[in-house]
Amino acid sequence: MTDFEETLIKDMNSKLIELNAKVEEMSSVLGKFGLDFITKIGQTNLKIRTLTDKIEGLDKATITIKGLLPQLNKIIENQDNLEMEIDLLKSLVQKCTSSSINETRDASIQRNESITSNKQSIVEKFDALKQKVDQNEDPKTIMEELDSLQKDLFETTGGHRILYDISQFLKKLKVGTIDSALKEEIKEKINFWKNKV
C-alpha cells in the first residue's frame, strides 16, 4: 500500500470519526428538542383542558344567571312599588309631624317662660341674700337662706353645677362668725352664682 493510500485512509478515518461525533451531537440535540417539544405539548394539553373546564363552568353560570333574570325583574318591580309606598309614608309622616311640631313649640314656649321666671326669682333671692349679708353677722341666718336657695335652684333646674359649690360654702360657714373678709367672699360667690344660673 502506498503512502498516499495510507494517508487517504487516515484522513477518511479521521473524517468518519468527526462525522460520527457530529452525528452523535446532532442526535442528542434532536433528542433534547424532542423531549422539550413533548413536554410543551403536554403543558399545552393541560392548559387546554383547564380552559375547557373553566369555559364549561362559565357556561353553567351563564345558564344559571339567565334563569335568575325573571326573578330579578320581579324584585325590581317590587322595589319600585316599595319606593312609592315609602314616599307616601314620608309625606304622611311629614304632615303629622308638622302639626305636632307646632303643638310642641307652643308647649315649649310656655315651659321656657316658666323656667325664665323661676330663674329670675332665684336671681332676686340671691340679691336679697347679698343685702342680708351686709346687715347681718349671724352665720345661721345666712346658712338658712343659702340652704333655701339651694333647694329652689335644685327644684328649678333638676341639678346644677353650682349646687355643689353652694354646699361646700355652707360647710365653710358652719365654722364660726362672719367677719368682713368672709362677707366679701360671700358677696363674690353670690355674684358668681347669679351669673351661672
Compute the distance between CA of residue 127 and CA of residue 154 in angstroms, rounded to an integer. 18
In a domain, 160, yes or no: yes
Dihedral over Cα of 146, 151, 154, 155: its sign: negative
In a domain, 143, yes or no: yes
Note the pLDDT tens digit of each residue in 120-138.
888 888 888 888 877 776 7
For residue 51, name the pLDDT band (cuts at 50, 70, 90): very high
Report phi then psi at 68, rounded to 5: -85, -15
In a domain, 180, yes or no: yes
Total number of domains constituting the chain: 1
CATH number, domain of 158, equals 1.20.120
Compute the distance between CA of residue 20 and CA of residue 108 in angstroms, rounded to an integer. 114
In a domain, 137, yes or no: yes
Note the pLDDT tens digit of each residue in 63-73.
888 888 888 88
In a domain, 153, yes or no: yes
Compute the distance between CA of residue 7 and CA of residue 64 in angstroms, rounded to an integer. 84
Compute the distance between CA of residue 110 and CA of residue 104 in angstroms, rounded to an integer. 10
The residue segments making up the domain with residue 127 are 113-196
Average pLDDT of the chain? Answer: 80
Note the pLDDT tens digit of each residue in 127-170.
888 888 777 767 787 888 888 888 888 887 777 778 888 888 77
Compute the distance between CA of residue 118 and CA of residue 165 in angstroms, rounded to an integer. 20
In a domain, 170, yes or no: yes
pTM reported for the whole predicted model: 0.40
pLDDT at 34 (0 to 100): 85
Residues contacting residue 141 through CB under 8 Å, at least 6 positions apart: 132
Residue 103 has pLDDT above 70, yes or no: no
Residue 107 has pLDDT above 60, yes or no: no
Please report how the helices 3-135 and 180-196 are oriented relative to each other, as an axis angle in degrees rounded to 10. 120
Cell of 2: 502506498
Note the pLDDT tens digit of each residue in 12-29.
888 888 888 888 998 888
Cell of 169: 360654702
In a domain, 173, yes or no: yes
In a domain, 156, yes or no: yes
